[in-house]
Structure 1
Amino acid sequence: MFKCKNILIVIWYCFLATAVHAQVTKLNVLSYELTLEPDIQTQSVKGSLKVQFEVEGDTKKVTFDAGTLNIDKVSGANLLSFSKVGSELELALSTSNESPYEVTIEYSGNPKKGLLFNANLNQAHTVYFTDHWMVCNSNPSDRASFSLNLLLPKGMQSVASGKSLGIEERAEKTLHKWHQAYETPSYTYGFVIGSFKATAEQIGDVKLNYYSSELEPKALKKVFVETPNILKFFEEKSGIQYVQDSYSQVLIGDNYQEMSGLSVLSKAYPTFVFKDSSEIHLTSHELAHQWWGNMITCEDFGHFWLNEAFAVYMSSAFSEYKFGDKKYQSDISIYKSIYDDIVKRGKDRSLVFKTWMPSRLNRNVIYYKGAYVLHLLREKVGDELFWKGIQSYSIKYFGKSVKTDDFKVAMENATGLNLDTFFDRWVYNKL
């Protein structure tokens, strides 16, 4: 019974230490253009970042997140001064009638998290904590386009958010160019570098790429054999086609993490799939985030369940579609058992957090209680109205930030039902 739980539970570890970012600012980033030179052997980065942004009203100071990065230089037409205060880069600006503002930030550092290096395998990959390898605004409601130029040793491969614009040969290195034209939050940006075995398949307009430093192409396709079906299932349930022309899955390291246009999955993941072909929750969970999370994003991490409970539940909905009701009910019984344990210990609480602090308990609440609540909502309104509501909500808020009441109203409008009592009981814990 708990085999599924053991697989699913690893999802929180990739985001377990995320701190609440209480940034209150009038900052709206429009675009990031980053040239980054990662050095795997020294576990360091050098970056040159051009940021275009707007500020509301007559704000004279804006703050970016910069982790432990060293800020070497900042330049811009309306820049008065800059300073690094703790983990934040503060910029003092002069009043400008022109919009947007534009600054260029030169930085360097040895990321303590967010960018994981493996010197033995000559690999590196990102895992959340974007501000530890790139200066950015970490607020999940701030969406921007993203261009990434990776300066890498010759012969190295790269996979990154956005579309590949090719490789430019330099004297001693190569410049790998990537561009994401549509806007997503900065925590969704990422990349993988190294040497990999790879295979791909074309599903309609989407190219699916699979990478591993260990598995041969035939085995890789076996690990990800359900990806085309999962993609089509989520397109149908959301009513929205996958937004990019490619989706990449990379077996690397020990983490499971969605990013815009790609996911990393632990190199140990194939052992689960080869042992039981129905244990594909991590493939479907991370792919679900390409809709619920990356493109329909919680306004702040107090509403984080709208990202994670949806991904957990949608992975089980696909299992129901593919493997039948018995598999789905097995998943739901696991989520319920986790929730029952929370209740037994007197720790039940609202799915909406006034102040989000990561912990195992809080993760169990938003991931598994949240998924169980979606199941109960489906039971209450019936299959047809539930999926009608999910599709209506997804279409309305695709590419936008959401809070819990947005989801509630969307479901009420689609079903014609008043859901006050249900949300007060199961979502807000008022009853």
Structure 2
Amino acid sequence: MGRSSNGATAVLLGLFLVLASSGCSGRGAAPPAHVDRVQLSLSLEPETHILDGAAKLEVAGSIPDTLYLVLHRDLKVRALAVTDVQGANLQRVGEGAAIADRLKRLGETVEKDSDVEHLALYALSLPAPRDSLEFELSYRGVVYDSVRIPSFSRMQIADETSGLIDSRGAFLTPWTGYYPRLAGDASLARFTTTVEVPPEWAAIAEGNIIERGERTVTFDSAHPLDGTYLVAGPYVVTSRQAGDVEVSTYFYHGSESLAPRYLAATAGYVTRYSDLFGPYAFERFSVVENWFPTGYGMPSYTLLGSQVIRLPFIIGTSLGHEVCHNWWGNGVLVDYKSGNWCEGLTVYCADYLYKTDKGPEAARSYRMNTLRGYADYVVRGDENDMALRDFTERTTPGTRTIGYGKAMMVFHMLHKRVGDEKFWEGLRTLYGQRKFTVTAWSDIFGIFSRIAGESFGWYERQWIDRAGAPQLVLQHPEVTRRGEENIVEFDLSQVQEGDPYRLDIPVRVTTVEGDTIERTLRDVRGRMYHARIQVPGTPDRLEVDPGFDVFRVLAPE
């Protein structure tokens, strides 16, 4: 589970700024127009599904004479105020699926026309291009997209909605359009969000709580975000301290008895990961209950469905995964254009790490099942393979196997190659140097190259740029007696399509006398590799990668 690009039906608006042709040229090296700061003042009316809002945006960079804004189609703009500009005009130019093609022509990425069904497009016209702009929109309307079961339901972590305000609770994401967004702007911005809720309700958003009233609360993000979520409901809030960090639960009436266990476990995870990677970057972490199935991780909180929080294994698995995302994904940010690495690293530092806590056999079983999943869903299943460079989020069991499982094994193999000390030092360095910075796979391997003293460019090309996996075949084993010892010789063939991989392959020989000899064949390359191992005693059994430490195609059982 994780934030990924998720939210519900994520509208994948592209990474190109939509600009009118006049004003784009001749502006020198100024950065494109982007939002630096967003100030929101919102009021929720759950019984009628209404949002009453005002949004002030501060825009910088090379601002053309026309900017395009995206807002929920059912939110009616009531007023526009542009600071120090006369003659500005806002016009609604389209809505729903009808704007999909226009967005694409303007340079946006829209995967399905239905992704923009709930949105409207506005043109903000200015008298002339500028290098800074501040404007405020006030708006009001219904935000209600009924919850649906997604097509990928077996492995999906959430029911699907673009966002809604309901008497049971509110769930609004950056892709809901509950505040105006500069179309195509992929930059990070500071958010200050003030929200008014009904009596007996509580709200939560990213950022620190800087002001609290009887029915209002204000959140301020200490660091830039790629958007802000807003969740609210009739919650009972319970809190405790974990060092300098406040941990809280936002649970519905009837779930309060779960709070002590969640608070204790959350405090433990925050402490563990702070010790492992570096200090937790936020002032608080909250576990928030949702009335429909979700499993999202946002900066400083996680949103879990009512049924999910009652599952007996969640506290020991998924909860830690979501806390860990505050280091990987919400702490160190993901450059999705070059591939989503944070799910694989979070799995390795959470789900897999908890298996290592239970012992070597539990960890081995986890790795084995990861390889089995790849074989079942991708190699012998009906899903297409893909490179990790192309993975952004899971949508099918196969994409989960690659983006979570293969990526996890990429970090495991890196760990095995550089050793414990340098691996954990590398992750501490990654967090320390790249916190709140958009980070690509190449940045990660650059850090490990410096720490380990070897270039990992080949490793990135092999495991990130290339789809597929090696397939190993053991051939021609034989034993030759040499004095008091025996020599075990064998060939290892790589029979997959495409070029051979460069691999570190563990090998184990068990003797009749009960001894075990383990070796790692370092930098195995080529279509065929001949190996020789000296064995004291009489060899009885030869195993290649017995611990499932290499990401590879398993032979059919």
Question: TM-score band, normalised by the shorter chain?
Answer: 0.7 to 0.9
Whole-Å separation in 1 of the counterparts to 2:74 and 2:318: 32
CA contact (8 A) 2:163 2:176 kept: no
Q: Match of 1:181?
A: 222
1:65 matched to 2:70: yes
Whole-Å separation in 2 of the counterparts to 1:412 and 1:141: 29
Whole-Å separation in 2 of the counterparts to 1:139 and 1:282: 33
Offset of residue 141 of structure 1: 4.8
Q: Show structure 1 runs of 5+ residues with no match.
A: 1-7
Residues 331 and 178 of structure 1, relative CA distance in 2, 3 Å threshold: same
CA contact (8 A) 1:71 1:105 kept: no
Offset of residue 350 of structure 1: 0.9
| Matched position secondary structure for 2:264 | coil
1:147 matched to 2:192: yes
CA contact (8 A) 2:16 2:185 kept: no
Residues 343 and 421 of structure 1, relative CA distance in 2, 3 Å threshold: farther
Whole-Å separation in 1 of the counterparts to 2:257 and 2:344: 33
Residues 131 and 252 of structure 1, relative CA distance in 2, 3 Å threshold: closer
1:2-401 maps to which residues of 2 (within 5 A)? 15=7, 17-25=9-17, 26-56=32-62, 59-72=64-77, 73-77=79-83, 78=85, 80-84=88-92, 85=94, 86=99, 87=119, 88-95=121-128, 100-109=132-141, 110-112=143-145, 113-119=161-167, 122-126=168-172, 128-137=173-182, 141-168=186-213, 174-186=215-227, 189-215=228-254, 217-239=256-278, 241-253=279-291, 254-273=293-312, 276=313, 280-299=316-335, 301-320=336-355, 322-341=357-376, 342-345=378-381, 347-353=384-390, 359-360=395-396, 361-401=398-438
TM-score by length of 2: 0.66
| Matched position secondary structure for 1:185 | coil
Q: Show structure 2 runs of 5+ residues with no match.
A: 18-31, 100-118, 146-160, 468-498, 500-557
Residues 380 and 180 of structure 1, relative CA distance in 2, 3 Å threshold: same
Listed one character per residue, the Cα deviations across residues 144-190 of structure 1 (whole Å, up to 9, x for unaligned) are 11111112223322222222233335xxxx3322222321211xx22
Whole-Å separation in 2 of the counterparts to 1:229 and 1:366: 27
Whole-Å separation in 2 of the counterparts to 1:311 and 1:65: 32
Q: Match of 1:5?
A: none
The one-letter amino acid of 1:39's match is: E
Whole-Å separation in 2 of the counterparts to 1:158 and 1:83: 32
Offset of residue 371 of structure 1: 1.8
Whole-Å separation in 1 of the counterparts to 2:356 and 2:267: 14
The one-letter amino acid of 1:106's match is: S
The one-letter amino acid of 1:24's match is: F
Residues 236 and 148 of structure 1, relative CA distance in 2, 3 Å threshold: same
The one-letter amino acid of 2:194's match is: N
Residues 323 and 212 of structure 1, relative CA distance in 2, 3 Å threshold: farther
Counting helix residues as a fraction of each chain, which structure ranks higher? 1
CA contact (8 A) 2:248 2:263 kept: no
Offset of residue 95 of structure 1: 4.4
The one-letter amino acid of 1:236's match is: D
Whole-Å separation in 2 of the counterparts to 1:15 and 1:59: 31
CA contact (8 A) 2:33 2:60 kept: yes
Whole-Å separation in 1 of the counterparts to 2:180 and 2:368: 42
Whole-Å separation in 2 of the counterparts to 1:132 and 1:327: 44
Listed one character per residue, the Cα deviations across residues 311-362 of structure 1 (whole Å, up to 9, x for unaligned) are 22221254146444444334333332222232334722211129x6863143
Offset of residue 215 of structure 1: 4.5
Whole-Å separation in 2 of the counterparts to 1:139 and 1:256: 27
Whole-Å separation in 1 of the counterparts to 2:270 and 2:144: 33
Residues 16 and 270 of structure 1, relative CA distance in 2, 3 Å threshold: closer
| Matched position secondary structure for 1:412 | helix
Whole-Å separation in 2 of the counterparts to 1:90 and 1:365: 40
CA contact (8 A) 2:4 2:343 kept: no
Offset of residue 24 of structure 1: 0.7
Q: Match of 2:148?
A: none
Moved more, 342-351 or 415-424: 342-351
CA contact (8 A) 1:284 1:315 kept: yes
CA contact (8 A) 1:296 1:399 kept: yes
Moved more, 317-326 or 258-267: 317-326
CA contact (8 A) 1:320 1:328 kept: yes
Q: Which has the larger radius of gyration?
A: 2
Whole-Å separation in 2 of the counterparts to 1:419 and 1:324: 30
The one-letter amino acid of 1:232's match is: T
The one-letter amino acid of 2:125's match is: A
The one-letter amino acid of 1:370's match is: A
CA contact (8 A) 1:66 1:134 kept: yes
Moved more, 139-148 or 381-390: 139-148
Whole-Å separation in 1 of the counterparts to 2:348 and 2:48: 41
Whole-Å separation in 2 of the counterparts to 1:140 and 1:18: 15
| Matched position secondary structure for 1:348 | coil
Residues 289 and 61 of structure 1, relative CA distance in 2, 3 Å threshold: farther
Offset of residue 255 of structure 1: 0.3
Q: CA RMSD in A?
A: 3.0
Whole-Å separation in 1 of the counterparts to 2:12 and 2:401: 17
TM-score by length of 1: 0.83
The one-letter amino acid of 2:321's match is: H
The one-letter amino acid of 2:384's match is: K
Deviating runs (4+, > 6 A) in structure 1?
10-13
CA contact (8 A) 1:145 1:182 kept: yes
Residues 247 and 407 of structure 1, relative CA distance in 2, 3 Å threshold: same
Whole-Å separation in 2 of the counterparts to 1:389 and 1:147: 34
| Matched position secondary structure for 2:232 | strand
Moved more, 260-269 or 59-68: 59-68
Listed one character per residue, the Cα deviations across residues 81-103 of structure 1 (whole Å, up to 9, x for unaligned) are 33344343333334466x64111
Residues 63 and 270 of structure 1, relative CA distance in 2, 3 Å threshold: same
| Matched position secondary structure for 2:67 | strand
Whole-Å separation in 1 of the counterparts to 2:219 and 2:4: 28
* Bigger RCO (CA 8 Å, 6+ sep): 1
Offset of residue 139 of structure 1: 6.3
